[in-house]
Structure 1
Amino acid sequence: MPTRILIADDHPLFRAAMCHALSSGSGAELVEASTFPETMNMLAQDTTIDVVFLDLGMPGSEGLNGLSEVRAEYPDVLVVIVTAQDSPGIVQRALALGASGFIPKSASVDCIVDAVNTVLEGETWLPAHIDLSADGNDSLDDFGARLSQLTPHQLKVLRMVADGLLNKQIAYELAISESTVKQHVSAVLKKLGVINRTKAGIAFKNAMRTE
């Protein structure tokens, strides 16, 4: 069964270039989305999608928030970040949130095809020029490493906490009990090393920024 790939980017010319590269090199089935809400809608409707090429700058994504939402809602879908921003700090946080690869928009066709093959084999793909040992924002990078410890359910709860939702509201949205929400929040605070939900929400929002 051919790999099914969703190309999520708001630039038609770039989507066309990605489609050309992938159709000629990987033999994959391709679908497209131009906004983040459209991306989430397609993932909800099409359970056969294996990989998402996600543009960090597309409408509705808001930095790394889009990645965190896809990973929380669809943990079995592989996500490859596509962006013009490739600072080591952003890459580290994207990987911590579960990205399987990070492709600059200037990447060649061969790089794109190699990335697809690599992530489908269960490995992480990064371009050779990205040096993750380079100096960056240590506090954000450390928080990104802590984020990687969260389960998809805990990440989903953290996103709602950052949005200001109360436990009863989170329980309603996720159709779980308030006691279960409290357990998730407690686990999140412990794993992130913060003392309360306010600090957790602020730290999460800071970590999602790509500017």
Structure 2
Amino acid sequence: MNRKITAILVDDHAVVRAGFRMLLASGDKIEVIGEAARGEQAIQLYQDCRPDVVVMDLSMPGMGGLETIRRIIQRDSAALILVFSVHHEQVYVGRALNAGAKGYITKNSATEMLSEAIDAIMRGEVYVECGLLKNPHANSDANDHQAVLAEFSPREFDVFRLLAEGLTAQKVADQLCLGHKTVANYATQIKKKLQVDTTTELAHIAVNLGMLRR
């Protein structure tokens, strides 16, 4: 009998992790050997368990998914990470793959796609849900802004996203476990790079990139 694929689940919602676990347990090929609610825990769990694959959300308090991917890959360049996220926008997909993820699917995808994606990346393929890398409505301004965002560090991207969503600097600091002054410095850098002056303009950029609804 073939050995089961081992996986760890990383999501800050216990109910979501339970759903992942049940979904994967419905087959006979994948065994969940650990769970984590934060990026910091995921890195330690990966080092302790050395799973075949990591199934990870991007939106988590603290370090966040993108930085977690980057740090796991720094420690093990062969790590297989599948992003399973609510975010379907191209900017998230691109950043996750650039950070080292080998696959990206959304949480509203067909249930069988999770196992299909894991099988694919175990074969050495890169698996991205159909349609996620297409952006037929992109305009030149959006392309320019996307190019700038592509150069952001994972932390800059997280701060940009939260500020664009309307969080105050203090709430961003609390969510990312950073100092208020650190977030203020990031905000200044971000606005300078995007050549804007206000958080309202940041929100407008996020809307144009499909990261926020109008």
TM-score (norm 1): 0.63
Shift >4 Å, 4+ stretches: 139-147
**Which residue among 123, 140, 143 is the counterpart of 1:138?**
143
Measured in 2, the distance between the counterparts of 1:139 and 1:73 equals: 33
**Which structure's relative contact order is higher, taking Cα pairs within 8 Å and 6+ residues apart?**
1
Matches within 5 A, 1:47-62: 47=50, 49-62=51-64
1:82-115 Cα distance to aligned partner (Å, 9 max, x none): 2111101211121122211112112232111111
Q: Structure 1 residues 26, 112: CA separation in 2 closer, same or farther (over 3 Å shift)?
A: farther
The secondary structure found in structure 2 opposite 1:116 is helix
Matched to 1:92, the amino acid is G
Matched to 1:38, the amino acid is Q
Q: How many residues align?
A: 159
1:171-198 Cα distance to aligned partner (Å, 9 max, x none): xxxxxxxxxxxxxxxxxxxxxxxxxxxx
**Which residue among 68, 83, 86 is the counterpart of 2:85?**
83
1:34-75 Cα distance to aligned partner (Å, 9 max, x none): 22221111112123x111111111222335222222222222
1:112-161 Cα distance to aligned partner (Å, 9 max, x none): 111111111111112223243442743565468789xxxxxxxxxx889x
Match of 1:104 in 2: 106
Q: Structure 1 residues 13, 108: CA separation in 2 closer, same or farther (over 3 Å shift)?
A: farther
Unmatched 5+ stretches in structure 2:
156-188, 194-205
The secondary structure found in structure 2 opposite 1:65 is helix
More off after superposition, 28-37 vs 130-139: 130-139
Measured in 2, the distance between the counterparts of 1:53 and 1:63 equals: 11
Matches within 5 A, 1:169-180: none
Contact 2:9 2:20 in 1 (8 A): yes
CA RMSD of aligned residues (A): 3.3
Unmatched 5+ stretches in structure 1:
148-157, 161-201
Contact 1:35 1:60 in 2 (8 A): yes
Matches within 5 A, 1:88-167: 88-134=90-136, 135=138, 137-139=142-144, 141-142=146-147
Matches within 5 A, 1:193-208: none
Match of 1:165 in 2: none
